[in-house]
Structure 1
Amino acid sequence: MVSLEEQLKNPVWYSLNETHKKFGVEYDGVRFYNQEVCTFGSFFDEAKTKKASDKYIKTTDSFFFVSESQTPIIDDTKIILEKKIDGCQMVLNQLSEVLITEDIVLLTDEYIDEVYDLIWLVMPGYYRRRTFEMGNYYGIFKDGKLVSLTGQRMQTNLFIEVSAVVTHPDYTRKGLAKQLIAHTTKEILKVNKTPILHTNKGNLAIPLYEKLGYKLTRDMNWWTYRKK
């Protein structure tokens, strides 16, 4: 078995090799998620990304390559680099004690549209309806509507990623995200896996993640491409 440390260097690749294998498509040794679920791609050999991305872009208008340090090679006659997100990976060291005062609900299929709408309101651009299939989602409701949530995204036999941490603008600064992250982290620990998360460098939420017990471990960059 590949060690946790090795898996975390290329989380998309190993997610598609294990837990999310059913969502994977592969072109020339480069792995992607089915674009209906997620538009992340992964590789070890950047020399193979040009031909592979030419094939994948036929199925979607945009996608991401996720890489710690390598730079993908693309065919700039067909694909445009929209932006490079300088990201980082955080891994749980030890979860801090958090008082859970809210009623946190496991979100079932009946909430797919509400999850989609809230994420696109706060963080438009990457989430697709079938992203919901990647893991469990948890939410907090106020006045009969979903106002805060978090979910699970990439995962293997060794780790699960905390993702989609969003709160409606009308309900921020109430500690909802903090409680949801703590709850989701505990659920991951219950299945004996390591909680991780990804964010962009300089994100104002990083101090919160650190207070909860997460530690910055490595760069993890997101190359965003779109069809020319």
Structure 2
Amino acid sequence: MNKLLDNIFWASLTGPHAKYSSGTGDARRYAIGFSPIVGFPDVEHPNFAALTPFCEPGEHFYCDGWTGPAPEGWRIEAEATMYRMVWDAPALLAEEALDAIPLGPEHAQQAFDLAMLTKPGPFGLRTPELGEYFGYFEDGRLVAMAGERMAAEGLREISGVCTHPDFQGRGYARKLMAKLVYRQLMRGETPFLHVMRNNEGAHGLYLKMGFRDYKETPVRVVCRV
């Protein structure tokens, strides 16, 4: 498991989500419409030349584990660090958020709009197709959601956790995450997630819920020029 978690982007793009990706044995990306994430077998020495033919000029992508200079034909637009966290607590006794609504294709635009407003991380219009997504609605409007993104053998990522600013403080995020944790554990999967280092509130919540820091890793947004 540790080896998969160390390079989870690549493990997902070449494993369960290979059908949602394009690239070669040296570099892969999620297909257009999914989360703009790229992966490499060697994260410290990424082969961007192998990735370039599968990307359009102006496209932006997230990558992790790499701190070198920008390769030819690419520009670094943002960089920070994030925590990769993994579940490290007993199984939950019951499923929460039984009143949450499963999100389907008919909710894709609302999910995308909420993600663009709240910025939970790389998200595309088709990202909810990568796993289970649940949300809370007010008067037909999606106001909170959480779901699943990357996957590898025995591992499942919780992602897209966000709440509209007008509806924060109601515990929606915690309940939706607990629901996903329960369902993943019942399937024999180990939940994991990512959170930016400067998001102290979310990081603290995840620690209290039962996640632990697995590693802190560099994360960058790069653009093909």
Scaled by the length of structure 2, the TM-score of the pair is 0.89
Q: Is the 8 A contact 2:131 2:147 kept in 1?
A: yes
Distance, in Å, in 2 between the alignment partners of 1:28 and 1:13 is 10
Deviations along 1:51-86, whole A, 9 cap, x unmatched?
A: 12433433662112222xx4355434x221001121
Q: Is the 8 A contact 2:13 2:39 kept in 1?
A: no
| Secondary structure of 1:39's aligned partner | coil
Structure 2 unmatched runs, 5+ = none
1:81 and 2:76 equivalent? Answer: yes
1:173 and 2:160 equivalent? Answer: no
Distance, in Å, in 2 between the alignment partners of 1:102 and 1:171 is 19
In structure 1, give the amino acid aligned to 2:125: R
Distance, in Å, in 2 between the alignment partners of 1:72 and 1:43 is 14
Where does residue 147 of structure 1 map in the other structure? 143
1:91 and 2:86 equivalent? Answer: yes
| Secondary structure of 2:142's aligned partner | strand
Distance, in Å, in 1 between the alignment partners of 2:190 and 2:121 is 27
Aligned-residue offset at 1:50: 3.3
In structure 1, give the amino acid aligned to 2:87: L
Scaled by the length of structure 1, the TM-score of the pair is 0.88
Where does residue 12 of structure 1 map in the other structure? 9
* Closer/same/farther in 2, CA of residues 59 and 28 from structure 1, 3 Å limit: farther
Aligned-residue offset at 1:210: 1.0
Of the candidates 23, 26, 29, which is equivalent to residue 26 of structure 1?
23
Distance, in Å, in 2 between the alignment partners of 1:5 and 1:183 is 25
Deviations along 1:69-105, whole A, 9 cap, x unmatched?
A: x4355434x2210011211101001156789466111
Where does residue 61 of structure 2 map in the other structure? 63
In structure 2, give the amino acid aligned to 1:21: A
Distance, in Å, in 1 between the alignment partners of 2:8 and 2:48 is 20
In structure 1, give the amino acid aligned to 2:166: D
Distance, in Å, in 1 between the alignment partners of 2:120 and 2:111 is 12
Q: Is the 8 A contact 1:102 1:140 kept in 2?
A: no
* Closer/same/farther in 2, CA of residues 18 and 47 from structure 1, 3 Å limit: closer
* Closer/same/farther in 2, CA of residues 192 and 168 from structure 1, 3 Å limit: same
Of the candidates 50, 53, 78, which is equivalent to residue 52 of structure 1?
50
Of the candidates 132, 135, 138, which is equivalent to residue 128 of structure 2?
132
Where does residue 192 of structure 1 map in the other structure? 188
Deviations along 1:151-175, whole A, 9 cap, x unmatched?
A: 1000022111000110011110111
Where does residue 118 of structure 2 map in the other structure? 122
Aligned-residue offset at 1:32: 1.8
Aligned-residue offset at 1:44: 3.0
Aligned-residue offset at 1:201: 0.8
Structure 1 unmatched runs, 5+ = none
- Structure 1 stretch 129-138 or stretch 89-98: which is displaced more? 89-98
* Closer/same/farther in 2, CA of residues 176 and 15 from structure 1, 3 Å limit: same
Aligned-residue offset at 1:48: 4.9
- Structure 1 stretch 217-226 or stretch 178-187: which is displaced more? 217-226
Where does residue 205 of structure 2 map in the other structure? 208
